[in-house]
Structure 1
Amino acid sequence: MLPPILQGLRIPVIASPMFIVSGPDLVIAQCKAGIVGSFPALNAREKDGEPPLLDAWLTRIEEELDRHNQSHPDHPAAPFAVNQIVHRSNARLERDIEICHRHKVAIWITSLGARVEVNQAAHDCGGIALHDVINNGFAKKAIEKGADGLIAVAAGAGGHAGPQSPFALIQEIRDWWDGPLLLSGSIATGRAVLAAQVMGADLAYIGSPFIATTEAQADPAYKQMIVDSGAMDIVASSLFTGVSGNYLAPSIRRAGLDPEALAAADARAMNFGDGSSKPKAWSTIWGAGQGIGAVREVEPAGARIDRLAAEYVAAKEAVSRL
């Protein structure tokens, strides 16, 4: 059974935290529309000498969702989540954990390494910790270190996607784990959300479609490239961060590179010291998952979620007639 915080969502979806793209405007819109919104803590970057922007972001999100809930008691907002990058190069991790603990963040999403102390911090303030994994081995390590749930990042997902089919990944994890399980990888329609559940996941984890929303903190050209592109335009490469990720081929060409002849890079190149794992030279190489063919316009996040919800209901009705 899902923990209470993940029950009662409009549709079983958590919006994945995306570097640069996810901020308070997008998170608030996602939560008001009935799905869990999220953002990476590292997206909140203040200038030197200024107070932590993460603190201000959390305060704003909490206050706006509280106002919404008071005005809409019959349709309260979904909770929100904060993503912690636990990679050893993240010098802000300890500070960001303290801030999230003080705000009693209810859902913590951890990436790039399972850490006992991060899970303990989440539990200590009454929250749950969900850890993203790309294979069954990492899944077992995450649970051993105290994670409450798993996010299976399968082939086709945006960002640092895993290489495995969602069928194989979910099957292997479900063989031993009956707790909360999310699936990430090319999920962009309500039908795909239902398919993830039928496959064995509890919830879908959706990112790339929300790049092309009015609330996203993305370059307008990035949003339009999502609209104009499809699965054939996604290229996997380790060149830009040292770890294989999925990127938009048009953005690679615009940077003067051939997406079909990219060199490999060492994982030691990954460094989150400045908030991103990508060197500044690659700042306009844009990531996305293979599901973007379903995105046909830039629109408000609420409208996109309305469509997902309608598609999800229609898919359930269609399945019931089989």
Structure 2
Amino acid sequence: MIMARDDSHLPEKLRGLRIPLIGSPLFIISNPDLVIAQCKAGIIGAFPALNAREGEGEPPLLEAWLKRITEELDRHNQDNPDTPAAPFAVNQIVHRSNARLERDLEICVKWKVPVWITSLGARVEVNEAAHSCGGVVLHDIINDTFAKKAIDKGADGLIAVAAGAGGHAGQQSPFALMREIRAWFDGPVALSGAIASGEALLAARALGADFGYMGSPFIATHEANADEAYKQMIVDSTAEDIVYSSLFTGVHGNYLKGSVERAGLDPNNLPEADPSSMNFSSGSSKPKAWKEIWGSGQGIGDVKKVTSAGALVDRIAGEYDIAGRRLAAEFAT
């Protein structure tokens, strides 16, 4: 049993989760199977709009994905009124090289996407599009300056990407980043950075975050669209097996050292890259030469096996409950 928590201060679409957790959108890996499983398990599931890539001349795959996710979650809610699914989120890459952005915004408005996650640029018109269909916008940031810009441009909440997160991670300690944000902002905040256990989720809440933001453990799930070798490397690796580099996209991120070595590179001597080399025109910021350089956060030492997304959420929920009760007992009078 999960302890009761007051989420009445949050926008309605962010309330009522089984546990306060968002499954972060994973490039290529997050697909409808994973998102639906996450939402049915009681947490917000998310995918990058750019993951839905159709062939030339084919209808937009993003529309087909949104139709399937919306209809399947609706059926689940009708069949399970006492345990409805959590809402889903779509991640929009708001980078100047994303030529699909305008089209994808229109499709997401049409399907009334409930939660929008924006990355790599805060733009007023994107937030306005989300709000036009009742969506809630969470913008990911790596420092307090970017956080203030995002809120000034109309985002409803923030995703604080701290040190240890997978993908394009920041370098600031979650302790510092969360306290600086909470000094001026009382809206929704999710914290990212090695969130891979119920204890880590509880720590994020103690720092002032409304949600944990967890990605890497979901790579090692049956539903994830990841190579089986990638899933096994997540299971076999620990924080010591993560390398922080800008070489592969132009922006610093965390990657599995084993995948870097398999590409014939020395993970301890990687050159720096120019940030201007980042380009999403083909759907990814990573050139095809680096497609098997696999991203991961530092929390993967908690991932012991490949399992279903639902079983992973069950594990996190159980650990979160036990850790919370242990601390509550310490403070009981």
Bin the TM-score by the shorter chain: over 0.9
> Please, which of 188, 191, 200 is the counterpart of residue 199 of structure 2?
191
Partner residue of 2:262?
254
The AA in structure 2 aligned to 1:300 is S
SS in 2 for 1:74: coil
CA distance in 1, matches of 2:71, 2:111: 12
- C-alpha RMSD of the superposition: 0.4
> Please, which of 140, 145, 157 is the counterpart of residue 148 of structure 2?
140
| Counterpart mapping for 1:62-141 below 5 A | 62-141=70-149
The AA in structure 2 aligned to 1:71 is D
Map Cα deviations across residues 14-64 of structure 1 (whole Å, 9 max, x no partner): 100000010000000000000000000000000000000000000000111
The AA in structure 1 aligned to 2:322 is A
| Counterpart mapping for 1:142-221 below 5 A | 142-221=150-229
Work out the percentage of aligned pairs sharing the same amino acid.
72
CA distance in 2, matches of 1:155, 1:316: 24
Shift of 1:88: 0.3
The AA in structure 2 aligned to 1:280 is K
CA distance in 1, matches of 2:192, 2:125: 25
Q: TM-score, normalised by structure 2?
A: 0.96
SS in 2 for 1:121: helix
CA distance in 1, matches of 2:69, 2:214: 20
Shift of 1:229: 0.3
1:43 equivalent to 2:51? Answer yes
Q: Compare 62-71 and 159-168 and name the one that shifted more.
A: 62-71
Shift of 1:191: 1.0
Shift of 1:321: 1.5
CA distance in 2, matches of 1:311, 1:88: 41
CA distance in 2, matches of 1:67, 1:158: 33
CA distance in 2, matches of 1:144, 1:320: 37
Partner residue of 1:19?
27
**4+ aligned runs moved over 4 Å, structure 1:** none
> Please, which of 54, 58, 62 is the counterpart of residue 66 of structure 2?
58
Unaligned runs of 5+ in 1: none
The AA in structure 2 aligned to 1:34 is G
Partner residue of 2:6?
none
Map Cα deviations across residues 198-250 of structure 1 (whole Å, 9 max, x no partner): 01111100000000000000011100000000000000000000000000000
SS in 1 for 2:315: helix
CA distance in 1, matches of 2:66, 2:249: 28
| Counterpart mapping for 1:230-269 below 5 A | 230-269=238-277
SS in 2 for 1:152: strand
> Please, which of 296, 320, 324 is the counterpart of residue 312 of structure 1?
320
SS in 1 for 2:85: coil
Map Cα deviations across residues 176-213 of structure 1 (whole Å, 9 max, x no partner): 00110110000001111111010111110000000000
SS in 2 for 1:321: helix
> Please, which of 271, 276, 279 is the counterpart of residue 271 of structure 1?
279
The AA in structure 2 aligned to 1:92 is R
CA distance in 1, matches of 2:207, 2:240: 25
CA distance in 2, matches of 1:233, 1:43: 27
SS in 1 for 2:46: strand
SS in 2 for 1:73: coil
Partner residue of 2:3?
none
Partner residue of 1:4?
12
CA distance in 2, matches of 1:67, 1:139: 37
SS in 2 for 1:110: strand
